[in-house]
Amino acid sequence: MEPILLVQPNPVDFGSTRVLATSPATLTITHTGSDDRAVTIQSIEITEDAEGDFEIQDMDQTPPFDMVPQDEVKIHLSYTPQAIDDDDRGNLLIESNALSQEQINVGLLGNSHAPHIEVDTTALNFSTVSLGSRPSLPFHILSTGNDPLNITEISLTQTSDEFFSWSPVTIDDPIAPGDQVEIQVTFLADERGDSEGSLRIEHDDPLERPVFIALHGRTPAPVAQVDSEFITFRLAGNSTSQSQEIHIYNIGDEDLLVLGCLFDNPDGSFFIDSAPGYPATVGKNGDLLGGPFAIVDLRFQPTGATVGDTCSLTFTTDDPETETIAVEVLGTYSP
């Protein structure tokens, strides 16, 4: 006996589709019988969807429904590949009460294409280099998809220091599948201290966001620090004077210059007994225990009882990151 239901096409071949794009196809079920006997289509569903790549968009009728001779029902399908795959396969199952056609399996076929970007590193560290130097480091953009990769823009992010350049500045030609392009990044070491940046690479890989290459470089620089940024004096009884040394350290890798000190003493209760001659040089590579350091000797000597005398010392330095350091001082005296 000839089959009553004709399903065309079978399999449904969507051909080659770009990743995340959608290709449509239409499946037709025709009742080809010659008598008046109806066939009930009980269900139509995708049983294998290749991880969501194949879908039923709509159909002329929703099961269950009956078909009589010469009836025709169209099922509208779609293929939206989520990744590069040269052999996507799925299955659509039609269940009916047609003799010997209780279950009809329709193969779903597709393959996908797209560019894909990879980089061989996501960070370039130039370490510490001499002031005024121009060191360069490379990284590579790899085209690992099955379509040519287009690099639409390479730029520094808005928060980057402007001490990095790269070559080539633009990549005008598509990068063929399997090929790569080398980018040379140069650190323009024109200022002391740390420089941070990030290259942003825009492209047409549909599955990837912009790619970022973190950049870091440093030239020798002083790093100023004090024992404490807040000092408290407490006097009582016959103790009417107290002194404390303020140490200015250099934990950087270049000599520090302490250029001066602004002494704000509104209550007149504090006195600087000794200070270095400015500018004062503090040697490099120090620590907070052994120094080296510059010393300012501060004395608290109020003229009477007080609970909140204050002063501040603001040191100016050539530390490129911290040009001023303030030390706040509070003094109390109870006779």
Specify the CATH number for the domain of residue 195: 2.60.40.10
Examine the pLDDT at 273 and tell me if it is beyond 90: yes
The answer to whether the peptide bond before residue 64 is cis (omega within 30 degrees of 0) is: yes
Q: Which two tokens stand for residue 188?
A: 């323009």
Q: How many CB atoms lie within 10 A of CB 65?
A: 16
Which of 262, 261, 256, 277 shows the shortest CA–CA distance to 320? 256
Gap between the Cα atoms of 140 and 135, Å rounded? 17
Whether 262 and 313 map to the same domain: the answer is yes
Task: Give the percent of the chain with pLDDT over 90.
Answer: 94
pLDDT of residue 65: 97
Task: Give the percent of the chain with pLDDT over 70.
Answer: 99
**296 CB burial (10 A radius; 0-12, 13-18, 19+):** buried
85, 113, 141 — which closes off a domain? 113
Q: Which two tokens stand for residue 21?
A: 């794009």
The total number of structural domains that make up the chain:
3
Average pLDDT over the chain, rounded to an integer: 96
Which of 158, 116, 156 shows the shortest CA–CA distance to 20? 116
187, 219, 251 — which closes off a domain? 219
- Beta-ladder partners of 79: 23, 54
Gap between the Cα atoms of 9 and 7, Å rounded? 6
pTM for the structure as a whole: 0.80
Examine the pLDDT at 1 and tell me if it is beyond 60: no
Name the residue range of residue 82's domain. Answer: 5-113
Question: What's the mean pLDDT in 312-335?
Answer: 96
Examine the pLDDT at 332 and tell me if it is beyond 60: yes
Q: Which two tokens stand for residue 96?
A: 């009916």
Whether 247 and 326 map to the same domain: the answer is yes
Gap between the Cα atoms of 47 and 63, Å rounded? 16
Encode pLDDT of 195-210 as tens digits: 999 999 999 999 999 9
DSSP state for residue 131 in the 8-state scheme: T
